[in-house]
Amino acid sequence: MDVIEQSAFVLHSRPYREHQQIVDLLTEHNGKVSAVVYTGKTNKSNKKGLLQPFSPLNVVLKGRSSLKNLSRIEASQKSYTLKGDHLYSGFYMNELLVRLLGELIACPSLFHHYQLSLIALTNQHSIEPILRKFELDLLDELGLSLDFSPIFEYEADSFYYIAEQGFVPSIDELKLPKYNRQHLQAIAQQDLSLDTVLRCNKLLMRQVLNILLGGKPLNSRKLFTKN
Amino acid sequence: MKFSPLVQELIDSLKCLPGVGAKSAQRMAFHLLERNRNGGIKLSKTLNLAMENVGHCQKCRNFTEQEVCDICQSTKRQLLQTLCIVEGPADVIAIEQTGEFQGLYFVLMGHLSPIDGIGPDDLGLDILSEQLATGNFKEIILATNPTVEGEATAHFIANLAQQYQVDISRIAHGVPVGSELEYVDGNTLSHALSGRKTYQL
């Protein structure tokens, strides 16, 4: 692995030994990387302030094994200050990335989309369209893009989404959520202006992601439902 | 070579301490056995007593062997009607040492961290709601750590506390005493600037 400086975001960090942390990073050129970083015990060498989520960093990674060493770390810009539900949405994106993304697979476009989503969240834009867009980008990156073509080919009022098959016209009664054809068409065309479409998109994504997550619930969702 | 079973068991038991591996555990065991029997016996007794008797305070969730801890029992503190919400027992000690705060505490024993699987249910927020519902408090101070997770926790609790008639405040962010501005990280500095106070003459 070349020693280069690149942009990165901290997704998650956990303490390791006395003065170290293991951080999960989303980097521009190496994708998701786990790295050990010495956080220091004196005030001057303390890097914990830098190692916060949603803070754009410049990092240099070293090491040949999959667990890298974080040899240099600097803030590249002011960190994105998210508040309330927007902050919880940030956690939601991080949790998705930590759980679904494979390690050390370059994903520059996803990195770019992640940063754009954070900017949109910082600017207090409406949350749902941002998250739906991000989920689609993540699915693209995982090579599991939704194939919307059956919706335009088949003349059915509603469709099911079945794992590994995609959209199937609802002819037989199945114990699965049904999606309205017009709503799906709007989603395919990225037109999320209607509330009903957003709702349909949310249910669809929840079903698709639940399959990928192996049925284990996302913890960050709990933050939203309580309030 | 193998140690006798009891010595080996002692070493293995010591390994449950954080930051203690095989070698350190071995060193500790030998030290206690060879040089400090009395200390070892005292440790074993206290450890046993503490493990069996120490629980959480019913009001503030701090560690105590009583049902309600000394701080929560103090009538002088109850009169102030202020509740300081902190992440851990060490934070209570830190704030107590300043002598600035005379009210009551609530210890969350952690912060919201979805990726680690710590959600609102793990922080005893139901007990906190009960406390607030009694109407004994006029102000709550959110003293969670100035990390992203601490901020999220503070926001979550503030949302929860809104329905009860209490003032909600958050501890200030600032530059540490004795530090130099050029070494302070940008986030802290921008918080310190945006949260600046008018100069009192």
Give the pLDDT band of residue B171 (cuts 50, 70, 90).
very high
Q: With 60 as the cut, is the pLDDT of residue A226 above it?
A: no
For residue B151, the chain A residues in CB contact (below 8 A) are 87
Q: Could you give all domains of chain A from N- to C-terminal order, each with its CATH number?
A: 5-75 (2.40.50.140), 84-225 (1.20.1440.120)
For residue B152, the chain A residues in CB contact (below 8 A) are 87-88, 91, 223
Distance CA A219, CA B129 (A): 21
Q: Which of A131, A136, A111, A135 is nearest to A120 (CA)?
A: A131
Least confident of A44-58, B51-65, B92-106: A44-58
Give pLDDT, residue A2: 58
Residues 6+ apart with CB under 8 A from B33: B7, B10, B40
DSSP states along A100-167? HSPBT---HHHHHHHHHHHHHHHTT--HHHHHHHHHHHHHHHTT-----HHHHHS--SEEEEETTTEE
For residue A52, the chain B residues in CB contact (below 8 A) are 147-148, 187
Our CA-based measurement puts residue A97 at a distance from the nearest CA of chain B, in whole angstroms, of: 10
Average pLDDT over residues B85-99: 95
Q: With 60 as the cut, is the pLDDT of residue A227 above it?
A: no
**Is the pTM of the predicted complex or chain greater than 0.80?**
yes
A72 interface with B at CB cutoff 8 Å:
no
For residue B148, the chain A residues in CB contact (below 8 A) are 52-54, 87
Q: Is A119 or A50 the better-scoring residue by pLDDT?
A: A119
Our CA-based measurement puts residue A170 at a distance from the nearest CA of chain B, in whole angstroms, of: 36
Closest residue in B to A20 (Cα) is B19
Average pLDDT over residues A65-72: 87
Average pLDDT over residues B13-22: 91
Q: Is A94–B117 a contact, with Cβ atoms under 8 angstroms apart? A: no
A227 interface with B at CB cutoff 8 Å:
yes
pLDDT tens per residue, range A141-182: 988 888 888 888 887 888 888 888 888 888 777 778 888 888
Q: Are B175 and B182 in contact (CB under 8 A)?
A: no
Beta strands B139-142; B82-86: pairing state: parallel
Our CA-based measurement puts residue A187 at a distance from the nearest CA of chain B, in whole angstroms, of: 28
Give pLDDT, residue A158: 84
Nearest to A83 among B119, B155, B190 (CB): B155
Give pLDDT, residue A93: 94
Provide the mean pLDDT of chain B.
92
Q: Which of B16, B185, B37, B139 is nearest to A44 (CA)?
A: B185
Q: Is A223–B185 a contact, with Cβ atoms under 8 angstroms apart? A: no
Give pLDDT, residue A168: 83
Give pLDDT, residue A156: 81
Closest residue in B to A79 (Cα) is B187
Q: With 90 as the cut, is the pLDDT of residue A72 above it?
A: no
**Phi, psi at B50, each rounded to 5°:** -65, -45
Average pLDDT over residues A194-215: 89
Beta strands A166-169; A158-162: pairing state: antiparallel
